[in-house]
């Protein structure tokens, strides 16, 4: 997942909550953080999560391009 940090800091080991259209939000542990340059300038923060291939496919299929994700230390909401 790539984007910008709105507030606070993000570290490996924290959890990202992925909102879904239904009431079944998903939470995933952040394995590492990388940075990617945007064409034309700027930089995205990339949250790398380690998951089963099935979860990766679900995340690719979600329309979450303009969403704001909540990051927590312990995976709680």
Q: Given its phi and psi angles, is residue 11 left (phi above 0), alpha (psi -120 to 50 degrees) or beta?
A: beta
Token representation of residue 33: 């953080």
**Domain limits for position 38:** 2-21+33-72
Which pLDDT score is estimated for 14? 95
Q: Quick check: is 68 in a domain?
A: yes
pLDDT reported for residue 12: 96
| pLDDT attached to residue 36 | 94
38 in a structural domain: yes
Kindly list the averaged pLDDT for each block of 10 residues, start to end, along the chain of length 77. 89 87 77 92 90 81 82 83
49 part of a folded domain: yes
Number of domains comprising the chain:
1
| Residue 77 covered by a domain | no
Question: Is 66 inside any structural domain?
Answer: yes
The answer to pTM > 0.75 is yes
């Amino acid at each position: 997942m790539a984007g910008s940090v709105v507030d606070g800091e993000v570290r490996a080991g924290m959890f990202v909550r992925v909102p879904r259209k239904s009431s079944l939000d998903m939470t995933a542990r952040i394995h590492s953080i990388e940075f990617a340059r945007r064409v034309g300038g700027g930089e995205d923060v990339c949250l790398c999560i380690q998951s089963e291939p099935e979860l990766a496919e679900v995340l690719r299929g979600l329309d979450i391009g303009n969403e704001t994700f909540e990051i927590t230390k312990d995976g709680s909401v």
